[in-house]
C-alpha cells in the first residue's frame, strides 16, 4: 500500500493537492477537517463535541480524532492506500496512526510537507473565507490562532517523520500543477 501524509499549515493547499494526488494514485482520502465538518453538518454527537474547538481554531482532543480515524480506516478495506490530510496534527496522533497501520501490516510511506510563508497563508484563508462558509476562515483572531496552534502543536510532527527518513518538503507557492509535479516526484520514490 501507499500511505501518504500530506502536511502543512492551514491554507497551504492540502485540499487542492490531495484531490490531484488521489486522482493519480487512486488513494483513499482521510481528511479529519472534512470528517469533522460532515459530523457538524449532520449534527452528530461527535460534531457537537468538535464544534467548540473548531470554531476557535483549537485542536479537537487526540482521543476523539484518533477514534474517528480508526473507524474510517476500518470501514475501508481493500484500498490501494490512504492519503491523510490534516492528520496527524500532534505527535501522539502520529504514534497512534503508526499503531493503527501496523495492525493492518502497512506503514506510512512518507510525509509531503507544503511550505508556505505566513503572510501568504493569511491572505489565502481570508480569501477562501468569502466563499467557504467556514466560521474559522472568517475571523482574523481565529485564523491567527490556527497558525499559532500549527506552530506550537503540529510542527513537531514533521520532526517525527524526518527522524524516520520519511520526509519531503515542497515549496507551496507557484502554479498548482507545478507544485503537484514536484509532489509526484517524491511520491514516486516511495512507491
Ligand atoms: P485547516 O487546515 O484549514 O486549518 P482543517 O479542515 O484541516 O483546516 O481543520 C479544521 C479544524 O478541524 C481544525 O482547526 C481543528 O479544530 C479540527 N481538526 C481537524 N483535524 C484535526 C486533527 N487531526 N486534530 C485535532 N483537530 C483537528
What is the rounded distance in angstroms from the CA atom of residue 153 to the CA atom of residue 89? 7
Which of 33, 51, 67, 135 to probe ligand 1 with, by most ligand atoms within 8 A of CB? Answer: 33
Q: In the predicted model, what is the mean pLDDT of the chain?
A: 96
**pLDDT tens-place string over residues 75-122:** 988 889 999 999 999 999 999 999 999 988 999 999 999 999 999 999
Residue owning the nearest CA to atom 3 of ligand 1:
10
Predicted TM-score (pTM) above 0.85: yes
Ligand 1: atom nearest CA of 136 is 14
Mean local confidence (pLDDT), 59-84: 95
Say which CATH class 2-184 falls into: alpha beta
pLDDT given at position 119: 93
Which pLDDT value is given to residue 150? 97
pLDDT for 180-189, tens place per residue?
Answer: 999 999 999 9
Catalytic residue among 37, 72, 142, 146: 146
pLDDT tens for each residue of 38-58: 999 999 999 999 999 999 999
* Residue among 147, 108, 100, 153 at smallest CA distance from 6: 108
Can you tell me the distance from the alpha carbon of 15 to that of 4, in angstroms, rounded to the nearest whole number? 14
The protein residue whose alpha carbon is closest to atom 12 in ligand 1 is: 33
189 counts as catalytic: no
Rounded to the nearest angstrom, the distance between the alpha carbon of 131 and the centre of ligand 1 is 18
Q: What per-residue confidence (pLDDT) applies to 77?
A: 80
Mean pLDDT of 65-81: 93
Q: Average pLDDT for residues 141-147, to the nearest whole number?
A: 95
How many other CB atoms sit within 10 Å of the CB of residue 186?
18
Separation of first and last alpha carbons in the chain: 8
The x, y and z cell numbers of residue 27, run together, are 488513494
Amino acid at each position: 500500500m501507499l500511505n501518504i501524509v500530506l502536511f502543512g499549515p492551514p491554507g497551504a493547499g492540502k485540499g487542492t493537492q490531495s484531490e490531484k494526488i488521489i486522482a493519480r494514485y487512486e488513494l483513499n482520502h482521510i481528511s479529519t477537517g472534512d470528517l469533522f465538518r460532515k459530523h457538524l453538518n449532520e449534527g452528530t454527537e461527535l460534531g457537537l463535541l468538535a464544534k467548540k474547538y473548531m470554531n476557535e481554531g483549537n485542536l479537537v482532543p487526540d482521543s476523539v480524532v484518533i477514534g474517528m480515524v480508526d473507524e474510517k480506516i476500518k470501514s475501508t478495506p481493500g484500498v490501494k492506500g490512504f492519503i491523510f490530510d490534516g492528520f496527524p496534527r500532534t505527535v501522539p496522533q502520529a504514534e497512534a496512526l503508526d499503531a493503527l497501520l501496523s495492525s493492518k501490516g502497512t506503514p506510512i510511506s512518507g510525509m509531503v510537507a507544503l511550505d508556505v510563508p505566513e503572510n501568504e497563508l493569511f491572505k489565502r484563508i481570508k480569501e477562501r473565507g468569502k466563499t467557504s462558509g467556514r466560521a474559522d476562515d472568517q475571523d482574523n483572531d481565529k485564523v491567527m490562532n490556527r497558525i499559532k496552534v500549527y506552530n506550537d502543536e503540529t510542527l513537531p510532527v514533521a520532526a517525527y517523520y524526518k527522524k524516520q527518513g520519511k520526509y519531503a518538503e515542497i515549496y507551496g507557492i507557484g502554479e498548482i500543477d507545478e507544485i503537484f509535479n514536484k509532489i509526484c516526484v517524491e511520491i514516486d520514490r516511495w512507491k
